[in-house]
């Protein structure tokens, strides 16, 4: 995994051979982004198979289930993580053969999940790029590019595809506090692609929209409820509100695996609250910006109601409201 905590100053690749270390890497945000941590969890479960000393399939399945529970707890909001673990465990339960062959089967399935993610995101990006017009200025929140997936990305993949199609576009990159995924990661990716951008403070987007400087808003998703409500990086809700008020389309881009069909509405999505230190230990000119006795709340995600989302961008195509109805139609195609 690329250690995303060190970018953009340092580019380092970490290697892991224990599922517990993969879970820790997910929890500590060495790797982040819903599709990326889904693929990472799949490889983590494959590692668990090789770690296990079990000689029978039944004993190996028990070890795999324990590892799966451990991995799922690493980041509770992003549904792709649980989706990947469930897919791997279903394959293990249905596998007929000895334990050693099951280990190989899980390793191959993890590779398949990773390869699928690349193809899914490329298709998603092609559908989304059709919504981007030459000359568009686009607000993008958090990081949704190749770093957040296996490759291409979701919302940033759409932007990248539009750029590669020759469209002249400009990206306003939200800093995305407190971990600054926009300023650190999205800006770094845009430089790799040669796409023009400006970093803006998270509170600036509404003003830019009101001044007529923005034509599109696009962000990803970590979990989507069946009714179309979208859980994404904290700040997405306020961004969508500003877009709605200014008549600017706000798109959420994600693979269908991000939809949690078992959750009827967004207020049922568990929202991760991370440690206060991420907020309190921010520094300015080498010094802490908050009082030593300060406390903080650090919610990692918020939920944007479906009424504020102009469309979903998925590998099944662009899906418009009403999402629950039109998703069913898209799924049969």
List the catalytic residues: 222
SS3 assignment, position 139: strand
User: Phi, psi at residue 2, to the nearest 5°?
Assistant: -70, 130
What are the residues facing 317 on neighbouring strands?
Answer: 314
Transcribe 71-132 into DSSP letters. Answer: HHTS-SS-HHHHHHHHHHHHHHHH--S-HHHHHHHHHHHHHHHHHHHHHHHHHHHHHHHTTP
Helix (DSSP H) and strand (DSSP E) numbers for the chain: 12, 13
Q: d(Cα 242, Cα 194) in Å, to the nearest integer?
A: 28
The tokens for 256 are 């269908």
Q: How far is CA 226 from the centre of its chain?
A: 18
């Amino acid at each position: 995994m690329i250690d995303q905590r060190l970018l953009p100053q340092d580019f380092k690749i970490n290697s892991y051979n224990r599922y517990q270390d993969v879970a820790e890497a997910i929890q500590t945000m060495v790797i982040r982004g819903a599709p990326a941590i889904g693929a990472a969890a799949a490889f983590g479960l494959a590692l668990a198979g090789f770690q296990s000393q079990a000689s029978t399939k039944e004993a190996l399945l028990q070890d795999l289930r324990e590892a799966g529970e451990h991995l799922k707890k690493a980041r509770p909001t992003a549904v792709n993580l649980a989706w990947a673990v469930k897919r791997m465990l279903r394959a293990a339960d249905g596998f007929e053969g000895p334990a050693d062959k099951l280990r190989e089967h899980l390793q191959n399935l993890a590779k398949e999940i990773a390869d699928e993610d690349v193809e899914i995101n490329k298709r998603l990006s092609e559908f989304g790029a059709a919504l981007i017009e030459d000359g568009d200025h686009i607000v993008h929140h958090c990081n949704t590019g190749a770093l957040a997936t296996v490759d291409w990305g979701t919302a940033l993949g759409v932007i990248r595809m539009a750029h590669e199609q020759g469209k002249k576009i400009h990206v306003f990159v939200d800093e995305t506090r407190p971990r600054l995924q926009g300023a650190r990661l999205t800006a770094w990716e845009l430089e790799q692609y040669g796409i023009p951008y400006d970093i803006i403070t998270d509170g600036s987007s509404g003003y830019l929209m009101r001044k007529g400087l923005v034509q599109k808003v696009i962000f990803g998703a970590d979990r989507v409820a069946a009714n179309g409500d979208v859980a994404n990086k904290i700040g997405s809700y306020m961004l969508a509100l500003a877009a709605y008020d200014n008549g600017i389309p706000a798109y959420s881009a994600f693979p269908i695996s991000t939809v949690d069909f078992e959750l009827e509405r967004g207020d049922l999505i568990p929202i991760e609250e991370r440690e206060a230190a991420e907020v309190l230990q921010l520094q300015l000119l080498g010094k802490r910006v908050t009082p030593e006795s300060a406390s903080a709340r650090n919610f990692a995600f918020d939920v944007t109601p479906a009424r504020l989302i102009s469309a979903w961008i998925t590998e099944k195509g662009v899906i418009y409201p009403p999402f629950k109805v039109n998703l069913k139609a898209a799924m049969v195609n």
